[in-house]
Structure 1
Amino acid sequence: MSQNRPDLGTPASYTFPRPQRITVGGGTVVAIDVPGQYLVSVRLVHPYGGAVEPLDAMGVGALTSEVLEDGPDGNSSLAPALERHGAEWVSRVNWDGFITGLDVPVGRLGEAVRLFADAVRRPALNPDDIVRRRDQLLERFWLEAATAGTLAMRSLGGQLFTGRYATPLAGGPVRLADVSPETVASFHSDTLASVAGTLVVVGDLSGVDLTDLGKTVFGDTAPTPERVITAPAPPPGPLPRVLIVDRPGSVQSALVIAHRAPSRSQVDLPRAEGIGEVLGGMFGSRLNLELRERLGYTYGAGARFDLRRDSGVFFMSTQVEADTTAHSITSSLEQVAKLRESGVTEEELVAVRESNTIGLPVSYSTARAMAGSLVDMVVHDLPDDHVDRVRAGYERLTKEALDSAAVEYLRPEEAVVIVVGDAERLGSPLTDIGVGPVEVRTPDELWV
């Protein structure tokens, strides 16, 4: 017997659970109790991302993150020790934070957190382990940079910033090679070993003593210091301009068109990210429809903001056949100009609203996803109702708000265009389009 499909109801507005905050010693525990979520996510957040690394030790954070996996006993001892508790290790560094953690069944939470605290505060840091991990990172850097798109993105920092952001997060192949075991030990002693940080805990916490967890993780460490926010300076040179990273014989080009953007705290997130989605963040975006569907130049094109505590970047990216490189650049810039001049359509407005509101219950259905949002709040000093504020911002988004965002946040006149491809083949076409002066470098010349 056939049945009719039920009609869809109006989606309910999602509300993110309010976290509980407990001060324990020098640190803070931020927790969400999610009944029935028996896999608990634990994250320890320190304000020691790549942006605050000294220029003579660039990449020390990324290397330290790798070395922590060698555990308190060294020689990759951490993973098998955590497996006995059914726990999975987490460690990553971004520009604004150093995040460690684990996902663990709630019944083994206490034992796993004690091991976690030892791994973060008291790792072995054997010199042989550090050198081995450093060599692996260096090898990985060049293996990943063999992909044109990765090389284009790693070339971007030096075109938009001076100082730390001019070198990739992992330190680049030259700077990272200079990071010694003594440098790692000193960095760890001054940061992860001695500073409390903020402990995020999400899952079914009935019967969990959060204060006891905090004591285990924080011990007698010092309170987390305030980070001084200073906007980084741009490099000298005209804007807009073009950089070709030479890959002789390449039949394809990887493109990145980018400019600086405000910091995370300076933007209206729904407006900024909404206009980024219209331009290149959805399958039906302007760039994808033009470069993929109409011109057939690429399998996909995208655009998005990378917003940090002290600055930001907006970029468009794609990969195309070499002979279509120049037209792909001018076509992308034309889409930006049209968006700034004519604004968004009603269909695009609805798509942005719905893509950022309707799916929230699914997006935050796991402890890991909720913990990720709390980490974001800690790193960027966001209020506990940040998710709800952003959701409400999308719900009340108007065409006028997105139209003004296109003018405010998209600035093609300040752009740099990075092309990874055959310089001999591309030099004349990229000069002829008149975007700006054209410079050619080899990959080896990017991070000296």
Structure 2
Amino acid sequence: MSLVATRPEPGDARPYAFPAIHRVSVAGGEVVAAHLPGQLLATASLLLDAGAAREAPGREGTAGVLAKCLEEGTTTRDSAQYALALEGLGAELSTSVDWDSFRVGVSVPVGLLSRAVTLMAEAARTPRLDPADVARVRDDEVTALRMDWAQPGPRADAALRLDLFGAGERVGRPLHGDPASVAAVTVEDVTDFHGSWLKRPGVLLVAGDLDKLDLKELGAAAFAGTSGTALTPEGPLPVPVAPARRVLLVDRPRSVQSTLRLGHRAPERAHPDYVPITLVATVLGGAFTSRLNHLIREVKGYTYGIRADFAMTRRFGRFGVSSSVQTAVTAPALVDTVGEINRMRRYGVTETELEVARTWRAGSLTVDMQTPGSIAAALATLVVHGLPDDYYATLRQRLLEATVDEVSAAAAQYLHPEGLTLVIEGDSALIRDDLTVSAIGEIVDAEV
């Protein structure tokens, strides 16, 4: 046994290659597949244009209730029979809803994927939707949301979203709804949503050893009994900059902390400046070594952590900062945070900090793309946002080659400290005077 006196230096990064992509049109839908030679597991995911953006006003959360109901059996099997059929393949049904899509997926040994896709399609296309089951699932969701909204955070998030996008836009209301909107969801709402959006073919995403899979067979199973054509996505929302900062107070009496949410509108995910925008966020607040975490946590000791990011969807984006601080330091924490954002906008980034961000982002991309499930998720990004098939094959290199000038220019163009909405969920009686003295922005009481 020997001791190593010095820490080993990292070696050169291994070459990275995204799997080859194959596309097949079948039965009115499209199969988009990634070839993973020798992979014993395979993943299939049905991608449908039935995200939260399709929900009716006042019924936010309908898609989420429907997603949970897919586990309650189909028109030909009850929940126990369906669960046993999945279990017999060693499969588990997964569902998810975001702004842009509704996804249903399975992962199994590659030789069983055809049977698993048939079961997945059965749940997605012909769910039982028994009224008693739908009501129970809805009530469970309401209970979970009430518990969540009793904690700090969701009300602040909702206030920020409403201020940035307005109640007239679906994106101005919470992604999964709130306790009131989900409680208002009826059985008819769920069945109508299913009939309107989940009967369309959609796109089947497949990640696995394609030498052992018949993509046309998989597509035929996934799209059987469907009708309708692909929907034409709406264009991106405008990205206006507010004329002045606003401070929204969400009162939480006797709170010992203030929950902070800062943000403004930003470009959509398919924007050509995605790479430099992502690196701006990484340097500013996307990693433990970021500027905001160093200043607000390490130097000032105001918080355990603070994060900045650009959240981007098909139609809109949002620059945001989130943290929680002790009530007594609410105002100085906000002043310092806005000041750091302003400094980055004015002076850009340094080569030293950008090198860390480039390496971390590129390395994370490589690590994240290791399983069929993660590859299928990447395929979903390509489809939803209309990105080219070689997007991921070149993304890592574009991250590593981004320059200080490019990222600094993105900071100057896409950070708007003067147009931020600052939401504080805390004891307004204790923090209002300090906020007024700080003159950080007009103070408004938010009703959420």
Instruction: Tell me how far 1:220 sits from its aligned partner.
Output: 3.9
Alpha-carbon distance in 2 for matches of 1:375, 1:77: 30
| Aligned residue type for 2:32 | V
The equivalent of 1:430 in structure 2 is 435
The equivalent of 2:156 in structure 1 is 152
Whether 2:357 is the aligned partner of 1:352: answer yes
| Aligned residue type for 2:63 | G
Q: Which stretch shows the higher mean deviation, 180-189 or 265-274?
A: 265-274
Alpha-carbon distance in 1 for matches of 2:328, 2:20: 53
The equivalent of 2:256 in structure 1 is 251
The equivalent of 2:129 in structure 1 is 125
The equivalent of 1:142 in structure 2 is 146
The equivalent of 1:48 in structure 2 is 50
Closer, same or farther: CA 108–330 of 1 in aligned 2, 3 Å: same
The equivalent of 1:179 in structure 2 is 185
**Preserved contact between residue 239 and residue 266 of structure 2 (Cα < 8 Å):** no
Alpha-carbon distance in 1 for matches of 2:83, 2:194: 20
**Preserved contact between residue 43 and residue 113 of structure 2 (Cα < 8 Å):** no
Instruction: Tell me how far 1:84 sits from its aligned partner.
Output: 1.9
Whether 2:110 is the aligned partner of 1:109: answer no
The equivalent of 2:300 in structure 1 is 295
1:235-261 Cα offsets, whole Å, 9 max, x none, are 9x9631011111110000110110000
Alpha-carbon distance in 2 for matches of 1:316, 1:201: 35
Alpha-carbon distance in 2 for matches of 1:43, 1:25: 17
Instruction: Tell me how far 1:108 sits from its aligned partner.
Output: 2.2
Closer, same or farther: CA 132–39 of 1 in aligned 2, 3 Å: same
Q: Secondary structure at the match of 1:264?
A: coil
- The sequence identity of aligned pairs, in percent, is 38
The equivalent of 1:64 in structure 2 is 66
Once the two structures are superposed, the pairs formed by residues 37-436 of structure 1 within 5 Å of their partners are: 37-72=39-74, 73-75=77-79, 78-162=82-166, 163-192=169-198, 194-221=199-226, 222-229=228-235, 231=237, 239-436=244-441
| Aligned residue type for 1:398 | T
**Preserved contact between residue 74 and residue 125 of structure 1 (Cα < 8 Å):** no
**Preserved contact between residue 91 and residue 101 of structure 1 (Cα < 8 Å):** yes
Alpha-carbon distance in 2 for matches of 1:80, 1:152: 42
Q: Which runs of 5+ in 2 are unaligned?
A: none
Closer, same or farther: CA 77–433 of 1 in aligned 2, 3 Å: farther
Q: Secondary structure at the match of 2:50?
A: coil
Q: Secondary structure at the match of 1:332?
A: helix
Instruction: Tell me how far 1:230 sits from its aligned partner.
Output: 5.2
1:385-430 Cα offsets, whole Å, 9 max, x none, are 1113322221211111111111111111111011111111111111
Alpha-carbon distance in 2 for matches of 1:81, 1:411: 53
1:323-344 Cα offsets, whole Å, 9 max, x none, are 0111110000111111122221
**Preserved contact between residue 246 and residue 443 of structure 2 (Cα < 8 Å):** yes
Q: Secondary structure at the match of 1:333?
A: helix
Alpha-carbon RMSD: 2.1
TM-score, normalised to structure 1, is 0.93
Whether 2:49 is the aligned partner of 1:29: answer no
Q: Which runs of 5+ in 1 are unaligned?
A: none
Closer, same or farther: CA 319–74 of 1 in aligned 2, 3 Å: farther
**Preserved contact between residue 14 and residue 357 of structure 1 (Cα < 8 Å):** no
Q: Secondary structure at the match of 2:210?
A: coil
**Preserved contact between residue 161 and residue 234 of structure 1 (Cα < 8 Å):** no
**Count of residue correspondences:** 441
The equivalent of 1:10 in structure 2 is 12
**Preserved contact between residue 236 and residue 314 of structure 2 (Cα < 8 Å):** no
Q: Secondary structure at the match of 2:362?
A: coil
**Preserved contact between residue 161 and residue 232 of structure 1 (Cα < 8 Å):** no
